[in-house]
Structure 1
Amino acid sequence: MKETLALTILAASLLSFSPNTVADKAVLAGGCFWCMEADFEKLDGVTDVISGFTGGILKDPTYNGNHEGHYEAVEITYDPNKVSYKKLLDYYWVNIDPFDGEGQFCDKGTSYLSAIFVANEEERKIAEQTKEEVAKAFPNQTVITPILDASVFYPIKGDEIYHQDFYKKSPVRYKVYRWNCGRDARLKELWGDRATH
C-alpha cells in the first residue's frame, strides 16, 4: 500500500513537473535595441531579451567600434506554449515603423533599419504572412522591413554590457531618449490603440 502510494505521488509529481521548458528564439531588428528590449520584455511568454548585432559579415561587432553591415537587434527567448511566433511578430509590427527605409524614428542609418531574421521555412512563411497583413492594412504605403535569413547573433558584451537592460539601469535617461526620439508618438500615429505605449 505504501509502495503504491509512493509511486502515485512520484507519478503525480513527474506529471506536474512541466517538461514545457521548451524555449524558442527569435531575432528581430527594430531600431534602438534599448527600446526593442524594453518592449519585448513586457510581452507575456517572453523569458529573455538580449541586445546585440546581426546580419553582417564582420565578426565581433561593437557598438562604439565597428559594426558596419550589422543591424542593432534583439534575440528574444520565448515559451511557444505561451506566445506563438505569429503573435510575437504581430507584436513586433506595432512596435516599429515598417515604412521607414532610413532607420527607425530619430535613429537613421543602416544599423537602425528594421528586419525580421528567420531561422527556417516555417518562420519565413509566418513572417511573410504577417508582412502581407501589414501591407493590406496600409495599401498606400510600402512595407520596407525585409525578411532575412538568420545569421550569427553577437550579444553586447565586455565594457558595452551597460546597453543590456539599459531601460532598467538608467530609466530617466532612457525615457528622455525615447520621448525625444518620437518613437511612441509615431507608433500611436501609425497603429492607434494597437501600439503598446
Structure 2
Amino acid sequence: MFKKTIFTLTAMALSATAFAASAADQVAVFAGGCFWSMQKAFDHVPGVVKTRAGFMGGHVKNPTYEEVVTETTGHVESVEVTYDPAKVSYDQLLQTFWHHTDPTNPNGVICDYGSSYRTAIFTYNDDQYVRAVASNQAVGQQLHKPIATLIVKSTATGLPFYPASDYHQHFWKTHAAHYDAYYLGCGRGPALHKLWGDLADS
C-alpha cells in the first residue's frame, strides 16, 4: 500500500510538471504563401513544440481548402506555431518566417498568386506586435524594398485560426514526392536564394 501511494504521488507530480511545461508554451501564427513550405520551415526549428497548417484572417467560419483557394473567404494560408520560449525566441521565429518567404509581393509569394497567399503576421499580445513591427521595418531596410506583409493584432480583432484538413498537415513529409514536385516546379528555392542569399538556409 505504501509503495502504491508513493507511485501515485510521483505520477501526479510528473503530470503536474508536464502540465506546467505545456502551459508555458506560446503560440504564433505566420502566413508566408504556401502553408506546406512554411510548415516545413518551422517543423525544423529547435524549440518548436508543434505546428498546424490552416487559415486565418477571413470572414468565413471553418473554411475548407477548396473554399479558401476561390479567393472569396478573406483567409490566408497560415501556420500556427506552438513554441517553448525558453528554447526559441519570438524574434528567432520571425527570422525563420522572413527567410522562407518573399514579403515584398502584395499579391502572393513566388509562384502562388492570389489573396490567400499574401504574407501576414498574426500577433497574440503587445510584445509580439511590437517585435513584429520592428522586424518588418528592419527587413524593409535590409532588402531596400517596400514590405507588403500585414501585421494583425489577432486578439484585438477576434480572429480565430482554423486548421486545415489532415491531408495538408506536414505535407512535405506525408506526401514527399508531391511536395518536392511542387517545390521544384514553383522555383521557390532559387527565388528565396535570390532574395535572401545564404540566409534562406538559416
Structure 1, residues 32-68: CA drift from partner, whole Å, max 9, x if none?
Answer: 1111111110011111110110001111111013561
Whether the aligned pair in 2 keeps the contact of 1:20 and 1:81 (CA below 8 Å) is: no
Residue 52, structure 1, aligned to residue 57, structure 2: no
- Percent identity over paired residues: 40
Match of 1:187 among 179, 184, 192: 192
SS in 2 for 1:87: helix
Separation (CA, whole Å) in 2 of partners of 1:31 and 1:136: 22
Match of 1:146 in 2: 150
Distance, in Å, in 2 between the alignment partners of 1:30 and 1:76 is 13
Q: How does 1:130-169 map to 2 (within 5 A)?
A: 130-139=135-144, 141-150=145-154, 151-157=159-165, 161-169=166-174
Name the Cα RMSD after superposition: 1.8
Consecutive unaligned residues of structure 2, counting only runs of 5 or more, are 1-5
Q: Which amino acid aligns with 1:194?
A: L
Where in structure 2 are the equivalents of 1:32-111 lying within 5 Å? 32-66=34-68, 68-111=73-116
User: TM-score of the superposition, structure 2-length normalised?
Assistant: 0.84
Unaligned runs of 5+ in 1: 1-5
Q: Deviations over 1:130-189 (max 9, x none)?
A: 1111011122x11111101221000013xxx21112111111110110111111111101
Moved >4 Å (runs of 4+): none
Q: What is residue 196 of structure 1 aligned with on the other side?
A: 201
CA contact (8 A) 2:52 2:80 kept: yes
Letter in 2 for 1:146: L
SS at match of 1:53: strand
Higher helix share: 2
Deviation at 1:82, TM superposition (A): 0.4
Worse-matched range after superposition: 76-85 or 142-151 = 142-151
Aligned mates of 1:178, 1:85 — CA distance in 2: 27
Number of matched pairs: 181
TM-score (norm 1): 0.86
- Counterpart of 2:149 in structure 1: which amino acid? T
